[in-house]
Structure 1
Amino acid sequence: MHEQIEISTEYITLGQFLKLANIFESGGMIKGFLQDEGAIVNGELEHRRGRKLYPGDVVEVENAGSFIVAAE
């Protein structure tokens, strides 16, 4: 089951999304995690913090779970 994270804008960047989901404590931790391991976005490995996420996109983070982007 995916945890829904609501956004109030048209899109959100992957870095902002991970911060909003409270997976990491700081932007530096997010940057390091994405550079080293990456996150799975819609089934594809992603290392870019600036990757745009839209409602309906699924983000999977190892040891943290699976999240879906939802519109408010």
Structure 2
Amino acid sequence: MIQFKLEGEFIPLIALLKATGLVQSGGEAQTVVEEGLVKYNGQVDNRKRLKVRVGDKIDFMGSIIEVI
């Protein structure tokens, strides 16, 4: 599990995927979100501009990001 310390109110999902190193670029992040490969709190979510906040969990290809 990857723990990501949030420094503000929220972080966009695409930026979070890039910040944790799970994708190499914003374009790649948009693609994996659009293809339904990302789960937000257990549910597939296709929103590219999703605001991830403290307490949320993101699952991408078996890698879990916990936002703290």
Unaligned regions of 5+ residues in structure 2, if any? none
Cα distance between partner residues in 2 of 1:3 and 1:32:
21
55, 64, 67: which one pairs with 1:66?
64
Runs (5+) with no aligned partner, structure 1: none
Query: CA RMSD for the aligned pairs?
Result: 1.1
Q: What's the secondary structure of 1:7's corresponding residue? A: coil
Q: Identity across aligned pairs (percent)?
A: 24
Amino acid aligned to 1:25: Q
Q: Displacement of 1:34 after TM fit?
A: 1.1
Give the aligned partner of residue 30 of structure 1.
Answer: 29
The alignment status of 1:43 with 2:42, answered yes or no, reads yes
The count of corresponding residues between Structure 1 and Structure 2 is 68
Q: Tell me which stretches of 4 or more aligned residues in structure 1 moved more than 4 Å.
A: none
Amino acid at match of 1:66: I
**TM-score calculated relative to the size of structure 2:** 0.90
TM-score, structure 1 as length reference: 0.85
